[in-house]
Chains A and B, each alone.
Chain A
Amino acid sequence: MTVAFLIGSLLLLLAIRVPVAIALGLSSVLTLALFGDQSLLSLAQQFFHAMEVYPLLAVPFFILAGTFLTTGGVAKRLIAFAIAITGRVRGGLAMASVLACALFAAISGSSPATVVAVGSITIAGMVGAGYRREYATGVVTSAGTLAILIPPSIVMVVYGAITETSVGALFIAGIVPGVLLTALMMAAIYLTAGRAALPRQSSASSREIGRAARDAFWGLLLIVLVLGGIYGGVFTPTEAAAVSAVYAAVVAVFVHRDVKVRDVPKVLVESVRVTTMLMFIVANAYLFAFVLTTEQIPQTIVASVLAADLPPWAFLLLVNVVLLAAGTLMDPTSVVLILAPILFPIATQLGIDPVHLGIVIVVNMEIGLVHPPVGLNLFVASAVSGLPVTSVIWASLPWLALLLGFLVVITYVPALSLVLPRFMLGG
């Protein structure tokens, strides 16, 4: 009864376009008022708790860093570097776009931001070099999803916070799958380049490669700084986020000088907007998780799953189906926040590693970003490339198939996600 009311009221509120954050909060508050004995005071405390969870402090910092990097010319220089090293291979420019997305993903945690930063330059570049606009857009739309798999990743921060899983371990776990997916995407372009009649570029001399690398130095150094700093135990993911925000600001304003000092407030205001939008959902998700816990809802589901004698592989299949279905309605962060507190206890009972579950969820969210009807990357790519959304959807379909295949591999080969964290953290 309680579950039915909680989920039913949530779906009803979402259907009439109550903002996701408020729908989560109101359905939780009403459920507790009707069935529980918690006071409104404790709900207010629970809401504020979201701001006290240390890993979540990384969210505003990573967003601020991302906004500086997108506004400034770091992306442009990373792209030039990627183009220089892919050389004169057929389809080289498309492969460079994938590589540029991966590099940018290693300093930014947001997928739509990556599509904007890389796509606004490389789509026009590819079209100018003779690629079909649809092809160019499809490549960037899909490669942009690497941002949430390759650390740092805001989705990982949110998953780690709500399930109390180490964000550092999740970041490390994302590296092997991230590199693998980048390689797969580039290989797919390489193998189909002949049939798709992709053009080739003139090759860059070693001196040009050197110059491109020097220009991209500050961006590449940030990758080393953030990832090296976290893995070397120099700082926590939250501190790494603050350091990269200050670093990105200094590089954009004083080194590359493509953000003027008087534009800094605008960057701050834009980052505040994204941060509060996200944190409002997170804070209400804590209310939702609070209701789940006090009403012992996951335990009930766990009991029935265990009673059904579901093997872990079947459970993981179920997880993927549920996540993909939810991803057709809502944005990735909301999906993670609603479903992770339910799925997590079941997975732990079945002996599935929390870090592995996190990576499976993140790859699901990557797919959610590029599949219709609400895949955010599709709309962002449409805005960046000037193509109608329907064309972007068609152009991304082959990549969607690749991602689905990759999801199967990640789901059933846990070693890909776990080998690096086990090796580095000894866990």
Chain B
Amino acid sequence: MTLRALDRVEDFLTAALLAAMTLLTFLQVVLRYAFNSGLVWVLEATVYLFGWLVLVGISNGVRTGSHLAVDVITKHLSPRAQKATALTAIALSLLYVALMLIGSFTLVRRLYAFGNLAHDIPLPRWILLSSLPIGFALLGLRLVQAAMGIARGTAPPAAHGGRDEPARPAAAERGE
């Protein structure tokens, strides 16, 4: 299971979303100062773009191992115990995904039933918020993928994300 095409789609989509958010917010400043006007829908659009960016990006972070985790304890375990704890950690993460998936699916279904539109964007809210169930579903997929790698021994027992130190300086821009 390589999912290469999905990798590329995710990268492209999230990069485009980040660029769009940045340019929209920048445009709003320019409009206010240069033309003394503004677009009402920009803020709301930026929020939903951000939602899609983060929710699609989370699963991407599992693939690239960029989610932080605490390894002070597990790194002292034997390789076999490390494999076992890693698989347990993924199983528990999948429990989290399942619960959040139920919650966000219920939310989207209810919004669909109500059929109300967003404030300033002419789109129904359930479409804009479907980033939630889609994001959690993708996260579940990536976690299963990571678990299979660890179980087969083709990935280190930390493939679900979580080193406490950056492997390379380029990954160092962590936001602290």
Contact = CB atoms under 8 A, between A and B. Distances in A.
Interface in B53-72: 53-54, 57-58, 60-61, 64, 66-72
B22 A245 contact: yes
B124 interface: no
B164 interface: yes
Contacts of A276: 14, 53-54, 57-58, 60-61
Contacts of A109: 175
Contacts of B100: 25, 29, 40, 43-44, 47
Contacts of B43: 54
Interface in B146-176: 158, 160-162, 164-166, 168-176
Given A29-B100, A242-B22, A17 B176 contact: no
Interface residues of A, number: 86
Please classify how large the interface on chain B is, using the bins under 10, 10 to 19, 20 to 34, 35 or more: 35 or more
B114 interface: no
A39 B61 CA distance: 28
Contacts of B70: 14-15, 17, 20, 329-330, 374
A85 interface: no
A270 interface: yes
B129 to A, nearest CB: 7
B73 interface: yes
A229 B70 CA distance: 38
A271 interface: yes
Interface in B92-142: 92-93, 95-96, 99-100, 102-104, 106-107, 110, 129, 132
Given A40-B99, A67-B173, A270-B170, A246 B67 contact: no
Nearest to B49: A51
B14 A29 contact: no
Q: What is the predominant secondary structure among interface residues of chain B facing chain A?
A: helix
A273 B61 contact: yes
A70 B67 CA distance: 21
Most A-side CB within 10 Å, residue of B86, B104, B164, B172? B172
Contacts of B103: 39-44
A272 B166 contact: no
Interface string A142-165: 000000100000110000000000
A19 B68 contact: yes
Interface in A13-41: 13-22, 25-26, 29, 33, 39-41
B169 A120 contact: yes
B9 interface: no
B74 interface: yes
Q: What is the predominant secondary structure among interface residues of chain A facing chain B?
A: helix
A14 B51 CA distance: 26
A86 to B, nearest CB: 25
Contact of A18 (B22, B51, B93, B176): B93
Contacts of B53: 60, 272, 275-276
Interface in B21-55: 21-23, 25-26, 28-29, 33, 43, 46-47, 50-51, 53-54
Given A19-B93, A43-B103, A246-B26, A272 B176 contact: no
A126 to B, nearest CB: 18
A29 to B, nearest CB: 5
A334 B73 CA distance: 18
21 contacts: A17-B74, A17-B158, A19-B160, A19-B162, A22-B92, A25-B96, A40-B103, A44-B107, A47-B132, A48-B129, A60-B50, A63-B173, A242-B25, A242-B29, A246-B22, A272-B60, A274-B66, A275-B53, A277-B66, A331-B68, A374-B72
Interface of B: 11-12, 14-15, 17-19, 21-23, 25-26, 28-29, 33, 43, 46-47, 50-51, 53-54, 57-58, 60-61, 64, 66-74, 85-86, 88-89, 92-93, 95-96, 99-100, 102-104, 106-107, 110, 129, 132, 158, 160-162, 164-166, 168-176
Q: Which 9 A-B pairs have the closest CB atoms?
A: A276-B57, A40-B103, A242-B25, A379-B165, A44-B103, A268-B15, A44-B104, A19-B67, A26-B96
